[in-house]
Chains A and B, each alone.
Chain A
Amino acid sequence: MKSILPIGVVLAVIVALWYAAAVWLNAPWIEDQAQRAGEPAPTFSQLLPLTMNQDRPVLPSPHQVVSELVTSTFGMAVTSKKSLVYHGWITISATLLGFAMGTGLGILLAIGIIHNRAMDLSVMPWAIASQTIPILAIAPMIIVVMNSMGVQGLVPKAIISAFLSFFPVLVGMVKGLRSPDQMQLDQLATYNASDAQTLWKLRLPASMPYLFASLKVGIAASLVGAIVGELPTGAVAGLGARLLSGSYYGQTVQIWAALFAAALVAAGLVATVGAVERRTLRRMGMAR
């Protein structure tokens, strides 16, 4: 509760700075127009409202972005190509599909790694090293190659998302599945528990906090993957396509609206994972 006031102040300062920047960046265009029309340069009070509502401003003012966001979210039919719900859904579905694939693969491989020493020694160094590689660079190639094999639409984007969410989940899960200490493992050994039983009854429950920590990283990365995956196909559909077509046609308001929509989607997805995390950990008695 104590932090609401400071956050509010910071956000207010950001909005105020944004308005100031909008005036500063958009004013040259107005002055230029006035000069061409042979009129005297507008005074500051004339200038102010003009910088707020341009069609193609250098920096759209916050209320322009919000109104664009609202009209393109609620004001359009959901099936319309101008609706952000339509584009957002395409991106979200690719994100979720890729996230599910990446998480599933990551968990399976992590289970394999902790049970097989050879796999651990050969795969883990590469999995860790892969975190330092800009994997996103392969996005255009995957899209085009899948396209040439006749696979289009959701799946190529989901594969990029899966790639990006796979490694954080793998690394986090290996850590988590190894988190039970020797005493607990010995206890299960005295019960004559098999490897599978140890996995189900001790390792998997113990790994949950690690799993959720990496899921939060993974889902944010998935969304970035889906958005970037929409770029090389040339602005067909999705939030990334809105960004790209906005940048082609100079529709700055559209870019900002798509950017905010993407931010809202990201916040929503991370918050959902966080809510599931809190519920699960509380039910399991691990809540901090």
Chain B
Amino acid sequence: MMLVALSVAVWLGAWALNVRLSHSGLVKSRMGRLVVPAIFGLTVLLVWEGMVRGLQVPGVILPPPSAIGARLASEVPTLWADFRQTFVKGALSGYVIGCGAAFVTAVAIDRSPFLQRGLLPVGNFVAALPIVGIAPILVMWFGFDWQSKAAVVVVMVFFPVLVNTVAGLKATEAMQRDLMATYSATYWQTLLKLRLPAALPFVFNGLKIATTLALIGAIVAEFFGSPIVGMGFRITAEVGRLGLDMVWAEIAVAALAGSAFYGLVALIERRVTFWHPSQRT
């Protein structure tokens, strides 16, 4: 009971602190904008720990964060192997292939209004479908190893990137294209010097959506069959053995990998499209 009371006290204290902080001048600074969510995150972890220990929730239902942290620290080699199998081999290679193919396709169909009118509605439609469902088929075709996961990722990231890139290639104004025409620029010069740079914000939007999809695709595809390594495999296997602290550790790795991947793409976007109004601060 002590721990429960303590965690309630921690919660109330942190809440009051955050309310005070958010009304003070500190939040105007960059520091303050980081401190408040950080306090909130820490509070969630502390209350979680206190409640689980205080109410003696069994570890097979909800392990405390400390146990998850301990698991995370002691199982680094396994987690690293899973990470390499799922993220580096499955998600990353599929992401590169899928985004590359979508980009090339977008540039190709951009030349034909007929194809655009035909493919775009289909692409938009497919982008809303539960494409993860294709995973069992691709696992059958490409086997249990990472190739099938990469294939699922390719299919999943293809349409969002395609639709966004085509939209981006339309983003130039007639005035700008006319200017290129007065320079007597060829199609390729216009494409490289005007239309692709103008399309980049849209392309990056698609690429950012695709980062999350890539990781989801790679993990879910492993639910349908995988070698005995990989994040999706580990999650299902450890859930079966009720080793929930390992499952949470794996989820923490997935969350970290997902955010880092997204952050990396966002960082590249900042560097490449520094001229765009949304990137100027």
Chain A interface residues (CB < 8 Å from chain B): 2-3, 5-11, 14, 58, 117-118, 120-126, 129, 131-134, 136-138, 140-141, 144-145, 148-149, 216, 220, 223-224, 227-228, 231-232, 239-240, 243-244, 246-247, 250, 252, 255-256, 258-259, 262-263, 266-267, 270
By the criterion CB–CB under 8 Å, are A122 and B39 in contact? yes
Check if B134 sits within 8 Å of A259, measured CB to CB. Answer: yes
Question: Looking at A3, A134, A227, which has the most chain B CB atoms within 10 Å of its CB?
Answer: A134
Instruction: Determine the distance from Cα of A81 to Cα of B239 in the docked complex, in whole angstroms.
Output: 27
Give the Cβ gap from B233 to chain A, nearest Cβ, in Å.
Answer: 11
Q: Which residues of A contact B137 (CB under 8 A)?
A: 247, 252, 255-256, 259
Contact A137 B251 (CB under 8 A): yes
For B122, give its contact among A5, A11, A258 (CB under 8 Å).
A11
Q: How far is the CA of A141 from the CA of B62 in the complex (A)?
A: 10
Q: B117 to A247, Cβ gap below 8 A?
A: no
* Residues of A close to B22: CB separation below 8 A: 117-118, 120-122
What is the chain A residue whose CB lies nearest that of B118?
A6
Assembled-state Cα–Cα distance A235/B259 (Å): 32
| Band of interface residues on B | 35 or more
Q: How far is the CA of A217 from the CA of B85 in the complex (A)?
A: 30
Judge whether B136 and A244 touch: CB under 8 Å.
yes
The reply on B215 being an interface residue by CB < 8 A is: yes
Contact A133 B225 (CB under 8 A): no
> What are 23 A-B contacts with C-beta separation under 8 Å?
A6-B119, A10-B115, A121-B22, A126-B41, A134-B215, A134-B219, A134-B254, A136-B220, A137-B219, A137-B250, A141-B247, A144-B239, A144-B242, A145-B60, A148-B61, A232-B236, A232-B239, A239-B133, A243-B135, A247-B136, A247-B137, A250-B140, A263-B129
Rounded to whole angstroms, the CA-CA distance of A2 and B118 in the bound complex is 10
Considering the chains assembled together, what is the distance between the CA atoms of A266 and B220 in angstroms? 19
Roughly how many angstroms separate A158 CA and B27 CA in the complex, as a whole number?
38
Q: A244-B224, A259-B134 are contacts. A6–B117 as well, Cβ < 8 Å? A: yes
B36 within 8 A of A: yes
CB distance from B42 to the nearest CB of A (A): 11
Label chain A's interface by main secondary structure.
helix
- Complex CA–CA separation, A220 to B135 (angstroms): 17
Question: Which residues does chain A contribute within 8 Å of B117, judged by CB atoms?
Answer: 2-3, 6-7
Q: Determine whether the beta carbon of A137 is less than 8 Å from that of B231.
A: yes
- Cα–Cα distance between A250 and B129 once the two chains are bound (Å): 23
For B251, the chain A residues whose CB sits under 8 A away are 137-138, 141
Q: Is there contact, CB below 8 Å, between B220 and A228?
A: yes
The residue in chain A whose Cβ has the minimal distance to the Cβ of B261 is A132
Q: Do A266 and B129 touch across chains, with their CB atoms under 8 A apart?
A: yes
A6 & B129 in contact (Cβ 8 Å cutoff): no
Let me know if A118 and B18 touch, CB within 8 A: yes
Check A132 against B262 for contact (C-beta < 8 Å).
yes
A223–B128 Cα gap in the complex (Å)?
10
Q: If the complex has contacts A145-B244, A220-B130, A267-B129, are A123 and B136 also in contact, measured as CB distance less than 8 A?
A: no
Q: With a CB–CB cut-off of 8 A, which chain B residues contact A246?
A: 136
Q: Which of B119, B129, B242 lies in contact with A10, CB distance below 8 A? A: B119
Q: Give residues of chain B (212-231) contacting chain A, Cβ–Cβ below 8 Å.
A: 212, 215-216, 219-220, 223-225, 231
Q: How far is the CA of A120 from the CA of B115 in the complex (A)?
A: 45
Bound CA span A266–B124, Å = 13
Question: What is the chain B residue whose CB lies nearest that of A130?
Answer: B255
Q: Is B275 an interface residue (CB 8 A)?
A: no
In the complex with contacts A118-B15, A121-B18, A137-B232, A7-B136 CB distance below 8 A: no
A1 to B228 CA separation, bound complex (whole angstroms)? 52
Q: Is the CB of B235 within 8 A of A125?
A: no
Q: Please tell me if the beta carbons of A131 and B212 are within 8 angstroms of each other in the complex.
A: yes
Using known A-B contacts A121-B33, A121-B37, A138-B251, determine if residue A133 contacts B18 with beta carbons closer than 8 Å.
Answer: no
Please name the residue on chain B nearest to A224 by beta carbon.
B130
Q: Which of B128, B242, B244, B255 is close to A133, meaning CB atoms less than 8 Å apart?
A: B255
Contact for B118 among A3, A141, A227, A256, CB less than 8 A: A3
Give complex CA distance A117, B18 in Å.
9
Distance (whole angstroms) from the CB of A29 to the closest CB of chain B: 13
Select from chain B the residue with minimum beta-carbon distance to A6. B118
Q: Tell me, yes or no, whether B54 is within 8 Å of chain A by CB.
A: no
In the complex the two chains form, is A232's CB within 8 Å of B40's CB?
no
Measured between beta carbons, the chain B residues less than 8 angstroms from A220 are: 128-130
Q: Which 7 A-B pairs have the closest CB atoms?
A: A6-B118, A122-B40, A247-B136, A10-B118, A132-B262, A121-B36, A6-B117
Whole-angstrom distance between the alpha carbons of A83 and B197 in the complex? 51
A247 partner, pick from B36, B224, B255, beta carbons under 8 A: B224
Known A10-B122, A137-B231; contact A228-B132, beta-carbon cutoff 8 A: yes
Query: Is B19 close to A, CB under 8 A?
Result: yes
